[in-house]
Structures are given as C-alpha cells and as structure tokens.
C-alpha cells in the first residue's frame, strides 16, 4: 500500500519511522486511496492496471506500484509500442501523471496516438468464458468412467480475464480525444532535445541514461511522488514509459556490437531506476529491443534487474504468419519473470504457452490451445514445421518424436 500520510489515521506501533519505500504491508490505519489503483489480494501491494486486462491477469492482478515491467520488443516494434500506448492511455483515463521518454519519436507523437477509451459501461466486452466452470455441477455430463482422473480438471479456458473491472478497454481504430488527453499532465523527455553534457560521467552510465535518470528524479521530487516527503493533498501515481532503451539511438552500443564498450550502462541505469521507483509512487514500463542484443547473459542481467518481464514474438514477416495453426493469433507472448514482492511465493502463471491477438477493442492474451485433430485423414504436422515446438501443447501428447509416418 502507499505510505500513509502522517496526519491520517492513528500511527500504528509497527510502522517504522524511517521506512520510505513504496512497499508497505497493509496496516490498519486509514490510507488515502488513489484512483485507478487497488490492493492486491495476495500480499496487499498497491496495483495499477497496465491497460490490457489479460496482461493484468498474467501479472497477478496488475502492475505493482514501484516496479518495472520490461517488454522485449517484437521485431517491428508494433505490439510492444501498442502495449506502451495502452499503458499511457490507462494513465490518462485514471488521471495519473505520465512521463514519456523516447529517443526515436517525439513523445508528443506517441501521446497523440493513444487509443480511445471505451467509456460506455454497456459496451464493455464481457469476458467470454469465466474460469469457474469446474465448480458448476456436472449434471449434464456423464461421470467419466474410464478417464475418471480427468473429471476434476477444468475445461480448457482460452481467454484470460478476471471478472472485476479494474482496467479499461480501448478502441484502437480511434485515437483519444485531445480534451481527454490534455486533462492529464505529461512530462516529456526527448533525447535529441537534451544537449549532451560534456561533464564526466560519474558512473558506468552513459550521458543519455544519466540525463534521463536525473530528469526522472527531478519530476518525482517536484511533483511530490516521493514517499519521504509528506504531502497534505491527495497523492497520485506517476506512470513512466521508456521507449526502446538499449537501442543505438540512446547512444548505447549494446545492440550494435558483440562486445559493447558500454556493456554496463543499461544495467546500471536499470538499477538506478529501480532505486527511484522503490522510493516513490511510480510504475514504469520499459521496452528493449532484445532481438538486437546478442549476448544472452546480458539479457538475463537486464531481465533480473526489472521486476516483471514479458517478451513478444510476432508472426509478422515470418513463415508462421501463414501457418494454419496460428491463424487466430498475431504472435506469441512469453512470460520471462514474475516478481515476488513482500512475500515468499510469486504468482506464477498457470500456463507458459500464451499467444496474443490484437483485436479492435481488446488486446487479448490467450492460452495457445490446439484442439484434437479429429479429421478422417490424419494429417500430422511434423515437429520441424512447428518452430518452438515446446510451446505447442498437443492434445495427443508430446512424447512422440521424429517419425511422422507413424499413424494410428
């Protein structure tokens, strides 16, 4: 929960005086509730919505305040940019403040492309399949006599959605009205507008990252998101969107060379970002073009320095675009890391094979599910054609290897 303001409620004995991070156990005293947030049911963390309800469900209900979500970009940066825009649009709708940093496009351009929210309650898309079917009495199904062990397993649920309406839905065919957008306060950081300081860097970070970190800290201090400064008025959340860190436009050669000179610039920056976020009421989404970074160990370091991490792999341009198995989806989504904050266990996703689809009114993330092949002429797709075979759950079992001529 957010740190309680000292004038509100009675000070509880167990609250330490020098605790100034955004992770607090839920205490009994009354806390100011911030619009657009809700406490997590697992550990009392304050959560915000990412703008994509399926992604909220995957991350355990939402994005915890004070954490970083790392999105490994897909090849053409189309869907990762879309998720970034959803995140910022959600901030506008919830009246949070925004901080957008980019080296490639002007942040104003990114802000002008935000999708329009569907604010009419009636038109909100109902989740199609509630993941509660297993509790219903199975009176219309015969009790299984042979495969009785499977009786209690839930039916296959594809759509991931939670039943509460914490996030909003957006229509990507329309852009957000300028009146709605201008109501939200946005801070911008556009790298070409910042003159390169010739001062010596104080650490392994390069100038662009140092300038970004400094600018972010100034915004946090000035606008009062810092937890250590007591504020009398209501508090708000700062949503930070950092686009394409690690690309060459940030003067970083991580994506250009196999053995980069500034190999620790991005990781040092992420460490500083984590330090800033843990001590303020803000949440960050960072996109990184991981397909350009050859060093897997470096990518592992970057992932570990962020809290949540997902990777997008779109089918555009690859031979999987025409594969009939993937015709319903636009790409695969891999959950690389889910954090455990203030508790020992993390909320691991149930299934690891997920695919996403960008529909007009929803960005849906579903479990990749292949129905059993019941056609008369059994046509088995060989393993070689399904790249990423480990991701595909075949109903016929995954033990068969190699020989595709073996038909039963």
Contact with another protein (CB under 8 A) among 46, 219, 254, 305: 305
The one segment of 14-22, 27-35, 130-138, 373-381 that binds another protein by CB under 8 A: 14-22
Among the residue ranges 32-40, 89-97, 244-252, 334-342, the one whose residues contact another protein (CB under 8 A): 334-342
Using the rule CB under 8 A, is 205 a contact of another protein?
A: yes
Distance, in Å, from the CA atom of 22 to the CA atom of 45, rounded to the nearest integer, reads: 9
Q: Determine, following the binding rule CB under 8 A, whether residue 341 of this chain makes contact with another protein.
A: yes
Could you tell me how far CA 283 lies from the centroid of its own chain? 11
The 210-229 site mask, x for binding another protein (CB under 8 A), equals: x--xx--x------------
Give least dist CB 254 to another protein, A.
Answer: 13
Q: How far is the CB of 219 from another protein (least distance, A)?
A: 12
Reduce the secondary structure of the chain to three states and give it as a string: CCCCCCCCCCCCCCCCCCCCCCCCCCCCCCCCCCCCEEECCCCCCEEECCCCHHHHHHCCCCEECCCEEEEECCCCCCHHHHHHHHHHHHHHHCCCEEEEEECCCCHHHHHHCCEEECCCCCCCCCCCCCCCHHHCCCCCCCCCCCCHHHCCCCCCCCECCCCCCCCCCEEEEEECCHHHHHHCCEEEEEHHHCCCCCCCCCCCCCHHHHHHHHHHHHHHHHHCCECCCCCCCCCCCEEEEECCCCCHHHCCCCCCCCCCCCCCHHHHHHHHHHHHHHCECEEEEEEECHHHCCCHHHHHHHHHHCCEEEEEEECCCCHHHHCHHHCCCCEEEEEEECCCCCCCCCCCCCCCCEEEEECCCCEEEEECCCCCCCCCCCCCCCCCCCCCHHHCCCCCCCCCCCCCCCCC
Query: Smallest distance from the beta carbon of 336 to another protein, in angstroms?
Result: 10
Among 183, 343, 387, 396, binds another protein (CB under 8 A): 343
Chain mean position to CA 89 = 14
Query: Is the CB of 41 or the CB of 141 nearer to another protein?
Result: 41
Here's the x/- map for another protein, 60-99, by CB under 8 A: it reads as ----------------------------------------
Told to check if 16 binds another protein by CB under 8 A, we report yes
Q: Which is nearer to another protein, 23 or 170 (CB)?
A: 23
Q: Tell me which stretch binds another protein (CB under 8 A): 126-134, 189-197, 296-304, 320-328.
A: 296-304
The least distance separating another protein from the CB of residue 304, rounded to whole angstroms, comes to 7
104 near another protein, judged by CB under 8 A: no
Residue of 118, 342, 357, 370 that binds another protein (CB under 8 A): 342
Least Cβ distance, residue 301 to another protein (angstroms) = 4
Binding flags for another protein, 256-295, as an x/- string (CB under 8 A) = --------x--xx--xx-xxx-xx----------------
Distance from C-alpha of 362 to C-alpha of 73, rounded to nearest angstrom: 19
Q: How far is the CB of 358 from another protein (least distance, A)?
A: 26
Interface residue with another protein, options 2, 4, 24, 252 (CB under 8 A): 24
Footprint of another protein (CB under 8 A): 14, 16, 19, 21, 23-25, 43, 202-205, 210, 213-214, 217, 264, 267-268, 271-272, 274-276, 278-279, 296-297, 300-301, 304-305, 340-346, 348, 350, 352
């Amino acid at each position: 929960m957010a740190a309680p303001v000292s004038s509100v409620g009675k000070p509880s004995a167990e609250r330490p005086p020098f605790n100034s991070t955004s992770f607090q156990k839920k205490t009994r005293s009354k806390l100011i509730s911030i619009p657009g947030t809700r406490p997590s049911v697992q550990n009392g963390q304050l959560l915000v919505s990412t703008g994509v309800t399926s992604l909220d469900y995957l991350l355990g209900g939402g994005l915890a305040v004070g954490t970083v979500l790392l999105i490994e970009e897909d090849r053409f940066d189309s869907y990762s940019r879309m998720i970034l825009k959803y995140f910022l649009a959600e901030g506008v709708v919830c009246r949070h403040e925004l901080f957008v940093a980019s080296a490639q496009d002007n942040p104003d351009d990114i802000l002008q492309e935000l999708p329009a929210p569907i604010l009419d309650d009636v038109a909100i898309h109902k989740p199609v399949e509630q993941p509660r079917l297993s509790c219903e009495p199975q009176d219309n199904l015969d009790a299984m006599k042979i495969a009785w062990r499977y009786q209690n397993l839930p039916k296959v649920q594809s759509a991931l959605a939670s039943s509460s309406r914490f996030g909003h839905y957006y229509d990507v065919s329309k852009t957000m009205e300028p009146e709605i957008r201008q109501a939200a306060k946005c801070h911008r950081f556009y790298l070409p507008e910042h003159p390169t300081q010739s001062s010596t860097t104080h650490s392994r970070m390069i100038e662009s990252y140092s300038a970004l970190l400094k600018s972010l800290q100034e915004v946090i201090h000035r606008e009062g998101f810092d937890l250590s400064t007591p504020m009398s008025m209501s508090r708000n959340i700062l949503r930070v969107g950092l686009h394409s860190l690690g690309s060459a436009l940030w003067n970083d050669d991580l994506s250009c060379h196999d053995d980069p000179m500034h190999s620790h610039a991005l990781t040092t920056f992420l460490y500083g970002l984590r330090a800033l976020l843990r001590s303020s009421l803000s949440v960050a989404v960072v996109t990184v073009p991981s397909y350009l970074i050859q060093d897997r160990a470096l990518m592992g370091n970057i992932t570990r320095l962020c809290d949540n991490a997902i990777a997008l792999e779109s089918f555009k341009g690859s031979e999987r675009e025409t594969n009939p198995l993937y015709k319903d989806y636009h790409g695969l989504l891999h959950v690389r890391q889910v954090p455990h904050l203030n508790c020992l266990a993390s909320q691991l996703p149930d299934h690891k094979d997920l695919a996403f689809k960008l529909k007009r009114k929803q960005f849906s993330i579903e479990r990749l599910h292949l129905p059993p092949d019941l056609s008369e002429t059994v046509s088995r797709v060989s393993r070689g054609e399904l790249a990423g075979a480990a991701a595909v759950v075949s109903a016929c079992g995954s033990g068969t290897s190699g020989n595709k001529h073996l038909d039963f």
